[in-house]
Structure 1
Amino acid sequence: MRAVLWDMDGTLVDSEKLWDVSMHELYARLGGVLTPEVRESTVGGSAGSVMATVYSDLGLEPDPVAMAESADWLHDRTGELFEAGLPWRPGARELLDALLGAGVPMALVTNTRRVLTENALKSIGRHYFSVSVCGDEVENAKPAPDLYVRASELLGFAPAECLAVEDSVTGTTAAEAAGCPVLVVPNDVAVPRSPRRRHIESLSGATVADLRAVYAGFA
């Protein structure tokens, strides 16, 4: 395990609860009601994929300009919610501290746009990450592998040398497609099992040695 590649929303911080708020408000603006099933389908998605889901669900004309405006509003509103600070997922901060102390390089790999990610890093702490790669900085966001491929390249390692930590189906699919073994820490959405995934209930109490053992188990 040469490096650890971290998803952000739902994995490091419990920001999906804030996305819940802004998504419900967006639906109200567009004249609809967000169902739990549709909300679940958008977890971990990119701006483009989320808007495609929203407009299809509401039966709205998929006008690119209108969809872009809605995406901008959603990110601006979520940014306002982020300003109050982001709640950590159990054990996440402690594990970041341990990895940093052990000299393990880390990257933040998120579908969230750069502007909003920079906002989030004020709460999380940018000093943990050697690099960060955002959904609006690659041709194809998660579930495509581009983000994880780019992050590993920037760190100077092959994807197979990096352990990805994810909470969503979308993110886990992306990491797996890039060639990363994946540690899955489910939050609100169940993630199916596969040979390249290991599941744990929580990061609480997890150590650097635990991550190395998980990675070694894929050999």
Structure 2
Amino acid sequence: MQRPDPVRAVVFDFDGLLADTEKPWGVAESAMFTTRGLHYGEAERNLFLGAAAADAAAIMADRFGEPRPDVLAEFIARARQELSADSEPMPGAVAMLSGMRVPYAIASNTQRDLLDLSLAASGLDALVPLSVSSSEVAAPKPAPDVYLRACELLGVAPSDAVAVEDSRTGAAAARAAGLAVVMVPSGPYQPGDADLIVNSLADPALAGWLG
């Protein structure tokens, strides 16, 4: 898909893209495994990258042989503790958001209370006028729901908007919603996952796609 001309809005992912929350999420994930004497490595990290907490917990519960509600409750509690202590903006995030010239929003796969916690802990809440979490839609990424809802709230057609993502799960959601997709990968990816792939938020090519 080509870059919209003009770009009328931008929709950003949050975890791992605007805020360095992949580390606290990873700590919570690792603890879920290591406290049970199980290995947590790169394969597990990549498995959960971009996944909603409920989906990640379901995978864990099946692997642990434990009830899904119990595993989800434990996982959320661990994530809440880590996010409140260790959420920082990604390099370039503050400058990029401060310089936006078109309306923008966040479309996150995180549930509302944890998204709000991370926004406040990272200090990005003052720069984010609009956000949609997985709590407000029927299905999380890779379903297109969060992106469709964000575009609806922004008052733009998806085809007039650009999504910025860090994961294959998120990129698939944005593409399914009909947005052009830019990736700043934080894990494995394929060239066809996005219309533009850049190395960081400071990449000049990214600025050219954001209106």
Who is 1:26 aligned against?
32
Which residues in structure 2 correspond to 1:23-172 (within 5 Å)? Answer: 23-58=29-64, 60=65, 66-99=67-100, 102=101, 104-122=102-120, 123-172=122-171
CA distance in 2, matches of 1:44, 1:165: 13
Shift of 1:179: 0.2
1:52 to partner: Cα distance? 2.4
C-alpha separation between the residues in 2 aligned to 1:191 and 1:18? 22
Q: Could you report, residue by residue, the CA deviation over 1:45-72 in whole angstroms, capped at 9, with x for unpaired residues?
A: 01232122212333x15xxxx3123222
Identity, in percent, stands at: 34
Compared with structure 1, are the counterparts of its residues 152 and 25 closer, same or farther at alpha carbon in structure 2 (3 Å cutoff)?
same
2:200 to 199, 202, 209: 202
Q: In structure 2, how many angstroms separate the alpha carbons of the residues matched to 1:146 and 1:177?
A: 9
Deviation at 1:211, TM superposition (A): 2.2
Q: CA deviation at 1:130?
A: 3.1
Distance 2:192 2:105 in 1: 24
Q: TM-score, normalised by structure 1?
A: 0.85
CA distance in 2, matches of 1:26, 1:162: 38
Compute the TM-score of the two structures, normalised by the length of structure 2: 0.88
Please, which moves more after superposition, 106-115 or 201-210?
201-210
CA RMSD, Structure 1 to Structure 2 (Å): 2.0
Alpha-carbon separation, structure 1, partners of 2:98 and 2:174: 23
Q: Measure the CA separation in 2 of the matches of 1:173 and 1:209.
A: 22
Q: 1:2 to 1:208 in 2, by over 3 A?
A: farther
The residue matched to 2:105 in structure 1 has which SS?
Answer: strand
What is the CA-CA distance between 1:205 and the residue it aligns to? 5.0
Distance of aligned partners of 1:7 and 1:212 in 2 relative to their CA distance in 1, 3 Å threshold: closer
- Equivalent residue, structure 1, for 2:190: 192
State whether residues 3 and 106 of structure 1, in contact with CA within 8 Å, keep that contact through their aligned partners in structure 2. yes
Which of 117-126 and 165-174 deviates more?
117-126
Number of corresponding residues: 204
Report the alpha carbon displacement of residue 34 of structure 1 after superposing the two structures with TM. Answer: 2.0
Structure 2: stretches of 5+ with no match in the other structure: 1-6
Q: Distance in 2 between matches of 1:166 and 1:28?
A: 29
The answer (yes or no) to whether the contact 2:20–2:89 under 8 Å persists in 1 is yes
Partner-residue secondary structure (3-state), 2:163: strand
Residue 99 of structure 2 aligns to a residue in which SS?
A: helix
